């Protein structure tokens, strides 16, 4: 993005600027971009290139080893400084440290900035100087800092170099899927900085005041849908913060909604705090006894979950929303994650991997936190024994059934009462709605009560160990 981009603003102060994006796929390993993220990245880079063009600048695209690419560009252009905004994924921290050292050694002025968090993960600590593992005191400690969070403006001018270096061509990178999987994503999303700004403005005006009441209703447009924009840096949390403060000043009735919404931004900060201090948690449980959990290895169950064919309508609706749009409602994420880890007892890591591949907002910090939280093995996690009931969750958070009807159209004609548990409906009700269980909609893959008990028994084993 161009607004509130500290690295860009600092570079502009120094002289002419060459904006560069380096695609270094292998360096992201083991978390190379998933399919949906690649799609988003393509649209996002294309949008950024247009914004830069309009201001007489350009976006230079290069692929390959990041350090070598930068050194090559420095040789080609005579650049004397390299600035970027920090990332916090463990392998990227390591890589960027090496780049900094090497370029310093080449007498280049190198600086990194905070462009994507309200607070650096290392700035917040308990009185004993330890990282937080519980959200509420963490967020209180963030808020108590009363930090200056005013976003930076778009630089007035971006001075171009005398000669532009060559750029690779975006379409040559083949970031978009080869199969026509992205139709739904195209329909659902406007990508890029200006789309992100519009989405924030729309949310602040229409939904912030009702966020508290609406945010759990899966069929409603009650949340901001800013997650992919935030993840890809098209908008910054400082911009979100400033906009919500302005909304609060103008509309005191929005107080509760805005406060809750900002605490969700706080969860994002918490996720980065945890990722920074406990980098192993992307693969391993924070609570170590969970390493001995008797997980199931059923590939068939995993596949049915991924494809939205579990026979539990609310779970299937959510998984199909994910596949179609690259996004899933937060309430739905909790329901499907709980179903995978508890009803099917499949390791949370398998669920995290599927989300990583299919979410347009796939984010190592938030995804890890979300999965460990739901599986009961992370920081401030939901206790394992609190098992989401996929029937009552649907009744409560999709009370009209609109969410299920939209994503599981084969059940659309069922009366709402049976929509959450079609296997309990009589043959005549099913017939009238055109539903044949096991034929045009699956029978439930597990029995809720039996699966719940099996999960609790499994948990008892690790509790004792």
Q: Which of 120, 264, 395, 413 binds ligand FAD (CB under 6 A)?
A: 264
42 part of the interface to ligand FAD, by CB under 6 A = no
Kind and range of the H or E run holding 211: helix 211-214
Residue 339's contacts (CB-CB under 8 Å, 6 or more residues apart) are 305, 310, 312, 315, 388, 390
- Whose Cβ is closer to ligand FAD: residue 71's or residue 260's? 260
Q: Which residue number places its CB atom closest to ligand FAD?
A: 370
- Whose Cβ is closer to ligand FAD: residue 16's or residue 382's? 382
Segment interacting with ligand FAD (CB under 6 A) among 51-59, 193-201, 221-229, 398-406: 221-229
267 is an active site residue? yes
Tell me the CA distances in angstroms from 463 to 285, 348, 377, 440, one per residue in order. 14, 18, 12, 41
Q: What angle do CA 225, 139, 347 make, to 5 degrees?
A: 65
Query: Which 8-state DSSP code applies to residue 308?
Result: T
Catalytic residue among 65, 85, 114, 330: 330
113 bridge partner residues: 85
CB of 373 to ligand FAD, least distance (A): 6
24: left (phi over 0), alpha (psi -120 to 50) or beta: beta
Distance CA 344, CA 160 (A): 56
114 is an active site residue? no
Distance CA 283, CA 54 (A): 43
Q: Which of 37, 57, 227, 310 binds ligand FAD (CB under 6 A)?
A: 227
CB of 329 to ligand FAD, least distance (A): 6
305 part of the interface to ligand FAD, by CB under 6 A = no
- Whose Cβ is closer to ligand FAD: residue 70's or residue 244's? 244
Determine contact, residues 322/359, Cβ cutoff 8 Å.
yes
CB of 410 to ligand FAD, least distance (A): 26
367 part of the interface to ligand FAD, by CB under 6 A = yes
Residue 59 three-state SS:
coil
369 part of the interface to ligand FAD, by CB under 6 A = yes
413 part of the interface to ligand FAD, by CB under 6 A = no
181 is an active site residue? no
Between residue 320 and residue 339, which ones bind ligand FAD under the rule CB under 6 A? 330, 333-334, 337
Answer whether the bond into residue 30 is a cis peptide, omega within 30°: yes
Catalytic residue among 181, 241, 295, 423: 295
Segment interacting with ligand FAD (CB under 6 A) among 184-192, 277-285, 354-362, 388-396: 354-362
38 part of the interface to ligand FAD, by CB under 6 A = no
Catalytic residue among 31, 40, 84, 267: 267
- Whose Cβ is closer to ligand FAD: residue 65's or residue 91's? 91
Longest dimension (CA), the chain: 79
Distance CA 350, CA 352 (A): 5
239 part of the interface to ligand FAD, by CB under 6 A = no
65 is an active site residue? no
292 is an active site residue? no
Q: Round to the nearest angstrom and report the end-to-end CA distance of the chain.
A: 50
Q: Which of 363, 381, 425, 435 binds ligand FAD (CB under 6 A)?
A: 363
Determine contact, residues 347/295, Cβ cutoff 8 Å.
yes
295 is an active site residue? yes
The residue assigned the tokens 């090497």 is 102
Residue 1 three-state SS:
coil
Determine contact, residues 323/35, Cβ cutoff 8 Å.
no
Segment interacting with ligand FAD (CB under 6 A) among 107-115, 260-268, 281-289, 457-465: 260-268
- Whose Cβ is closer to ligand FAD: residue 143's or residue 443's? 143
Q: Which of 268, 273, 304, 320 binds ligand FAD (CB under 6 A)?
A: 268
**What is the number of alpha carbons within 13 Å of residue 364 lying toward its C-beta?**
23
244 part of the interface to ligand FAD, by CB under 6 A = no
Determine contact, residues 107/353, Cβ cutoff 8 Å.
no
Token pair recorded at residue 131: 């990282």
Between residue 371 and residue 400, which ones bind ligand FAD under the rule CB under 6 A? 371, 374
Active site residues: 264, 267, 295, 330, 348, 371
Which residues here bind ligand FAD, judged by CB under 6 A?
215, 223-227, 230-231, 264-265, 267-268, 271, 330, 333-334, 337, 355, 359, 361-363, 366-367, 369-371, 374
């Amino acid at each position: 993005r161009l607004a509130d981009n500290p690295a860009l603003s600092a570079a502009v102060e120094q002289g002419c600027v060459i904006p560069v994006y380096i695609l270094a796929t292998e360096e992201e390993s083991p978390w190379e971009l998933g399919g949906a993220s690649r799609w988003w990245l393509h649209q996002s880079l294309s949008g950024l290139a247009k914004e830069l063009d309009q201001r007489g600048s350009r976006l230079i695209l290069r692929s390959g080893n990041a350090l070598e690419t930068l050194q090559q560009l420095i040789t080609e252009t005579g650049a004397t400084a390299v600035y970027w905004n920090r990332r916090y994924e463990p392998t990227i921290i390591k890589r960027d440290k090496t780049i900094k050292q090497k370029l310093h050694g080449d007498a280049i002025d190198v600086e990194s900035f905070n462009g994507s968090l309200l607070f650096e993960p290392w700035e917040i600590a308990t009185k004993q100087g330890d990282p937080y593992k519980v959200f509420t005191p963490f967020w209180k400690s963030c808020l108590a800092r009363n930090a200056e969070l005013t976003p930076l403006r778009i630089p007035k001018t971006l001075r171009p170099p005398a000669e532009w270096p060559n750029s690779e061509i975006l379409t040559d990178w083949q970031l978009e899927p080869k199969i026509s999987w992205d139709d739904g994503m195209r329909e659902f999303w406007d990508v890029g900085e200006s789309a992100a700004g519009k989405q924030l403005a729309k949310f602040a005006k229409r939904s912030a005041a009702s966020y508290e009441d609406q945010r759990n209703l899966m069929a409603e447009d009650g949340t901001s849908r800013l997650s992919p924009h935030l993840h890809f840096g098209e908008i910054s949390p400082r911009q979100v913060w400033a906009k919500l403060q302005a909304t609060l000043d103008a509309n005191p009735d929005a107080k509760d909604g805005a406060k809750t919404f900002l605490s969700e931004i706080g969860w994002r900060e918490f996720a980065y705090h945890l990722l920074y201090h406990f980098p192993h948690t992307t693969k391993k449980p924070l609570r170590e006894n969970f390493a001995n959990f008797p997980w199931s290895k059923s590939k068939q169950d995993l596949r049915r979950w991924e494809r939205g064919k579990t026979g539990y309508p609310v779970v299937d609706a959510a998984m199909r929303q994910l596949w179609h749009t690259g996004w899933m409602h937060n309430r739905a994420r909790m329901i499907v994650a709980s179903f995978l880890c508890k009803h099917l007892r499949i390791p949370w890591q398998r669920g995290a991997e599927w989300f990583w591949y299919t979410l347009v907002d796939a984010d190592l910090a938030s995804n890890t936190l979300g999965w460990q939280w739901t599986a009961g093995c992370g920081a401030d996690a939901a206790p394992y024994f609190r098992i989401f009931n996929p029937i009552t969750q649907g009744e409560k958070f999709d009370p009209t059934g609109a969410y299920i009807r939209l994503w599981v159209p084969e059940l659309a004609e069922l009366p709402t009462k049976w929509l959450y548990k079609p296997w309990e409906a009589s043959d005549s009700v099913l017939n009238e709605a055109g539903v044949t269980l096991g034929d045009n909609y699956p029978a439930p893959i597990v029995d809720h009560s039996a699966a719940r008990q099996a999960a609790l028994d499994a948990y008892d084993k690790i509790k004792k160990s």
